[in-house]
Amino acid sequence: MGYDWKTESEKEGGAQAEKLPAGTHKVTITKVIHGKKDGTRFESKDKQPQMMLIFADSQGREVASMVTLSDKAAWSLAKILRAAGANVEKMTERGVTPDRFEDETFASKNLVGRELTIEVTYRTYNGKEYSNVNPVMEQPAGFDPEADLKAAIANDDIPF
């Protein structure tokens, strides 16, 4: 048959990046991908639209995370946005909804380049390894949970 130029031209360039190991890492969102190479869009099992976020650390090691873009499941995107410094209150005021991120241009413009801290774990399911990415919320300056607990106890408040 010979060399398949069409197939080769559709491939991503270069070797795959090294996998980000389990642990807590400072990362940047480097890519937002909405679909497979065959042109079909990513969807959850219940047919909700999804996108894949690629996070990379300063050494270029990467981890991917799928995010569902429905109102019910977009809490994971909300956590990522908040941890990355997005003004989620302004987003609410301006009527930005999860389905807005289905627009690839909008999603890339508002996500690529954002920095955040994530905790990465891996699990194996049916012989395939999957990553779990959990954003780490930065604590405000002066946050002291031990002092807050002592103050609550002193005031006879329930420390929840």
Phi (first) and psi of residue 18, to 5 degrees: -65, 145
Residue 8 domain flag: no
pTM of the predicted structure, to 2 decimals: 0.76
Residue 6 domain flag: no
Residue 7 domain flag: no
Closest CA to 42 of 63, 20, 13, 64: 64
Residue 61's domain comprises 15-154
Residue 160 domain flag: no
Give the Cα-Cα-Cα angle 151, 136, 68 (nearest 5 degrees): 125
pLDDT in tens, the chain (160 residues): 555 665 655 555 545 779 999 999 999 999 999 999 898 999 999 999 999 999 999 999 999 999 999 989 889 999 999 999 998 889 998 999 999 999 999 999 999 999 999 999 999 999 989 899 999 987 555 656 566 666 666 666 555 5
Residue 1 domain flag: no
Residue 10 domain flag: no
Find where tokens 């389990």 sit. Answer: 22
How far apart are alpha carbons 15 and 30 in whole angstroms?
16
Encode pLDDT of 132-160 as tens digits. Answer: 999 998 755 565 656 666 666 666 655 55
Tokens representing residue 108 in the block: 């890339």
Domain count for the chain, please give it. Answer: 1
